[in-house]
Structure 1
Amino acid sequence: MDTITPEQLASLSPFERNRMAIPTAEWQRYIGQWVAISPDGSRIVAGDADIGCLDAKVIALGVNPEEVVFEGVPEPNSTYIWTDCFST
């Protein structure tokens, strides 16, 4: 992870600070998948390779999908364009 200056840290939202504190090992469990991050950014609620299935998992957990942040977790050292959720 890149080093962040105290000034940069102070400028982050609580969500961003919390998201940064999620352990790397937790992120590694979801490589190549979509994750739903809690509204405060403190934890990964669920993950799935298919964003539609992830949405269903979030609902099954009793969480409103409009209250979480969906984010793709790419393979290390690779670039992905996460477009499958936008396909028609």
Structure 2
Amino acid sequence: EVNAKIANASLSQETENKTIKSEHVVRVIGGNITTYKDEPEWIKSLDDFRTWKIIEYDEICPIFDLLDSKLRKEVLEALGQRILA
């Protein structure tokens, strides 16, 4: 299940002979960005994971941290320190 939301709004208000205009910019991240005005179509475009975009990174750790210490040491010796940094 995908939960996604896009919004776009425009507001114009006249107050004491002054016009106040406000526009909201839509920033679409991932999916087929050409379909963002058709929300159901854009949400459907998220079914294809290849159109997803990374929105943030949190607690990045090297994939080599998943190895046990002995195997990690062997990788370090074979490939060098720069690969583990």
TM-score exceeds 0.5:
no
Q: Which TM-score band applies after superposition, normalised by the shorter structure? A: under 0.3
Structure index of larger Rg: 2
Higher RCO, Cα 8 Å, sep 6+: 1
Could you tell me the TM-score, scaled by structure 1's length? 0.21
| TM norm structure 2 | 0.21
